[in-house]
Amino acid sequence: MITTALIVRAVSLVLLALGVALGVFRAAHPIQDTRETLYVFGTLVEIEILDTDKDTAQAALVDVGQMLQRLHRDWHAWRPGMLSDLNEAIALGETGAVNDQLATILRRGALFDCQSDGLFNPAIGTLVGLWGFHADSPPQGAPPADTAIQPLVAAQPRMADLEISDNRIGSANAAVQLDLGGFAKGAALDMARGALAAWGIRDAVLNAGGGVEVMGSHDSRPWRVAIRDPFAWGAVAAVSLKPGEVLHTSGNYERFFDHNGQRFSHILDPRTGYPVEGIVSVSVLDTDGARADAAATALSVAGPSEWPQIAADMGITSALMIADDGAMMATPAMIARLAPPAEDATLEVQPVALPAPRANDCAVP
């Protein structure tokens, strides 16, 4: 007959065995893994922290979560907040007050606008809104009229129009309306990595819809990430990220709308006022998330022939472009880092040499 005492004994023996087994397991694999998924910047942000005690990791995640929520509010292009207040002031020909973090991302935005010859242009907020992308869900119906688009292009809003003096910002051109959507995610993940480092965390991965940034490694192995197949469920390639590296992908499969069989991407060509065509995704490997994110957008605008020059001008060495016919092109430095997504898979990428960067006098204002 089985008595309660026997059950208790059996259970405690099992627990003891389990405890011993766990102890052995821990000694062989001293990994503590803490994961969290946050909803910020209109996307899910997954953070995984290794080798940190649970209490510290949880506290760091709360801290980072609050920071990302605050950045999301402050940098939002169309909801009331610090950036929309600034946009209102600019439209009225006045100056607006910003905090250090907003001033910093705007200064960097001006650098990327200059280096990309205006292909990356966070001052085209009115145009982005006109195309219907200032909403949580994709726009529906017909694209805007050309007569509405052309005046916005002719007004030539550029980041160089901004007059930034410490924490007050104005614009020489009232057509400037700031939209940080092209690089806010990268800039925010960079700041999140900084915050995790301040908590003493060395090994972590942060993943936010198309952007992955790592710290340290995954238990003596590098963090391995996949580049999504823009045409089907799955991956086209895998990349092992070294400590401190980031991989940002811009794709017209992320946010778009279809009308009469035509697809309109949320990445706009500031020269024409129309969405980019012919490119499905661009991935940029770098150590600076804001720059990689901005460059992925800029190279999407640059298109299949112009992108190597713009990459060189922005200081990017590793980039991959997937055209809408499925052709893959990448810089030699990027090809050296790409692996097939699975053992039995193949990878066909056309190498594209990077030209020398063109001389420019671009600087952070």
Contacting ligand ADP within 180-239 (CB under 6 A):
181-182, 210
Q: Does 109 bind Mg ion (CB under 5 A)?
A: no
Angle at 226 between CA 225 and CA 227, to 5 degrees: 130
The answer to whether 341 touches 226, Cβ cutoff 8 Å, is: yes
Least distance in angstroms from the C-beta of 293 to Mg ion:
4
| DSSP structure string for 33-74 | EEEEEEEETTEEEEEEEESS-HHHHHHHHHHHHHHHHHHHHH
Q: How far is the C-alpha of 322 from the C-alpha of 295, rounded, in Å?
A: 15
Least distance in angstroms from the C-beta of 183 to Mg ion:
5
Question: Interacting stretch for Mg ion, rule CB under 5 A, among 57-65, 274-282, 293-301, 309-317?
Answer: 293-301
Least distance in angstroms from the C-beta of 212 to ligand ADP:
12
Q: Does 293 bind ligand ADP (CB under 6 A)?
A: yes
Q: Does 143 bind ligand ADP (CB under 6 A)?
A: no
Distances from the Cα of 253 to the Cαs of 60, 133, 210, 297, 329, in angstroms? 33, 14, 11, 13, 18
Q: Which residues contact 133 (CB under 8 A, 6 or more apart)?
A: 139, 181, 255, 266
Region of 42 (left: φ > 0; alpha: ψ -120 to 50; beta: rest) is left
Q: Which one of ligand ADP, Mg ion, none interacts with residue 126, CB within 5 to 8 A by kind?
A: none
Edge to edge, what strands does the sheet with 211-215 contain?
33-40, 43-50, 203-208, 211-215, 246-251, 279-286, 318-323, 328-330, 350-351
Q: How far is the C-alpha of 56 from the C-alpha of 35, rounded, in Å?
A: 12
Hey, is 210 helix, strand or coil? coil
Binding mask 206-245 for Mg ion (x = CB under 5 A): ----------------------------------------
Question: Interacting stretch for Mg ion, rule CB under 5 A, among 147-155, 178-186, 212-220, 346-354?
Answer: 178-186
Q: Does 87 bind Mg ion (CB under 5 A)?
A: no
Q: Which one of ligand ADP, Mg ion, none interacts with residue 149, CB within 5 to 8 A by kind?
A: none
Binding mask 298-337 for ligand ADP (x = CB under 6 A): ---x------------------------------------
User: Which residues of the chain form contacts with Mg ion (CB under 5 A)?
Assistant: 182, 250, 293, 296-297
User: Which residues of the chain form contacts with ligand ADP (CB under 6 A)?
Assistant: 120-122, 128, 133, 179, 181-182, 210, 250, 254-255, 266-268, 270, 293, 296-297, 301
